[in-house]
Amino acid sequence: MNSRDPVVFIVSADFDLRQLLLRSMSAARIRVASARCAADYFRLPKTDAPACLLIDMGLPDVDALGFLRKTAATDAPAVMISRRSEVRTSVEAIKAGAVDFLTTPIEPAALLQAVNAAWVRDTETRPQRFLRERVKTRFQALSQREREAAALIVRGLRNRDVGEKLGISLVTVQIHRGNVMRKMEARSLPELVRMADLLGLDGACEAGTFSNAAIEWIHASGRYASST
């Protein structure tokens, strides 16, 4: 095995379950790393190879579905594992981004099938996830006023109208506009809107610091106005 081989991250506080999954991965000659909780997982070195998380629904330090949502958006696809078969929980997990929901005792064939499905999804979605994270980082670098101005500009308002709504001068709007384009590394308004669409409302809310105007920008329409 080498660093380019696909990898499985096991996240479970249950020693017996962790050992069972480790043995299953070892028998299939799959590269594996394990963590006892979410905090331990985030300390593990990440990889550029296809990856999959096996997440125990009984995590001690975080809500497992919340952990799933975060890692599915930024790290790698996951397979959820539970000791109980609950239709509602399994549906919630799939909606939150899980590739599959398995209950113990786990059939080895079903486990390997789920892991392979997660690797395929990771390979397909990894470039988009990385791009989304870069765009989110740029967006977070905007000041509050720049976000508010951008929300109005992308919706199609002229600089003069933006100034009236925000109570600022035309010159100040032009400065904000230039800062937004520079910080977002957008070469045009259509490119800026594509970046906003890439983030999506859920990704914006995760940061916990965006204004209502900024969230409106995230869902801005496709109308593009001139810069005057």
Assess whether pLDDT exceeds 80 at residue 55: yes
Q: Are 93 and 68 in contact (CB under 8 A)?
A: yes
Q: Residue ranges of the alpha helices (H) in 75-107?
A: 87-95
Q: How far is it, in rounded angstroms, from Cα 33 to Cα 75?
A: 14
Q: Are 220 and 155 in contact (CB under 8 A)?
A: yes
**In this structure, which topology does domain 141-218 adopt according to CATH?**
Arc Repressor Mutant, subunit A (1.10.10)
Predicted confidence at residue 135, as pLDDT, reads 84
Assess whether pLDDT exceeds 60 at residue 120: yes
CATH number of 7-126: 3.40.50.2300
Predicted confidence at residue 49, as pLDDT, reads 87
Instruction: Please list the residue range(s) of the chain that carry CATH number 1.10.10.10.
Output: 141-218
Assess whether pLDDT exceeds 50 at residue 226: no
Q: How far is it, in rounded angstroms, from Cα 118 to Cα 43?
A: 22
Predicted confidence at residue 191, as pLDDT, reads 83
Average pLDDT, whole number, for the chain?
Answer: 82
Q: How far is it, in rounded angstroms, from Cα 177 to Cα 52?
A: 41
User: What would the mean pLDDT of 173-185 be, rounded to a whole number?
Assistant: 92
Q: Are 114 and 79 in contact (CB under 8 A)?
A: yes
User: What would the mean pLDDT of 51-55 be, rounded to a whole number?
Assistant: 94
Instruction: Please list the residue range(s) of the chain that carry CATH number 3.40.50.2300.
Output: 7-126
Specify the DSSP class assigned to residue 82: E
- Which residues, in sequence order, are CB contacts of 78 under 8 Å at separation 6+? 52, 53, 54, 55, 68, 71, 72, 97, 98, 99, 118
Assess whether pLDDT exceeds 90 at residue 130: no
Return the H-helix or E-strand segment holding 83.
none
Predicted confidence at residue 217, as pLDDT, reads 45
User: What would the mean pLDDT of 21-36 be, rounded to a whole number?
Assistant: 93
Range with the lowest mean pLDDT among 56-65, 131-140, 168-177?
Answer: 131-140
User: What would the mean pLDDT of 98-119 be, rounded to a whole number?
Assistant: 93
Predicted confidence at residue 219, as pLDDT, reads 41
Return the H-helix or E-strand segment holding 7.
strand 7-11
Q: Are 216 and 155 in contact (CB under 8 A)?
A: yes
Strand partners, 102: 81
Secondary structure (3-state) at 54: strand
Strand partners, 56: 81
Q: What percent of the chain has pLDDT over 90?
A: 49
Q: Is 53 exposed, middle or buried (0-12, 13-18, 19+ CB in 10 A)?
A: buried
User: Please, what is the end-to-end C-alpha distance for the chain in angstroms?
Assistant: 58
Specify the DSSP class assigned to residue 52: E
Confidence of residue 204 (pLDDT cuts 50, 70, 90): very low
Predicted confidence at residue 8, as pLDDT, reads 95
Q: How far is it, in rounded angstroms, from Cα 130 to Cα 135?
A: 9
Cβ neighbour number for residue 152 with a 10 Å cutoff? 24
Confidence of residue 200 (pLDDT cuts 50, 70, 90): low
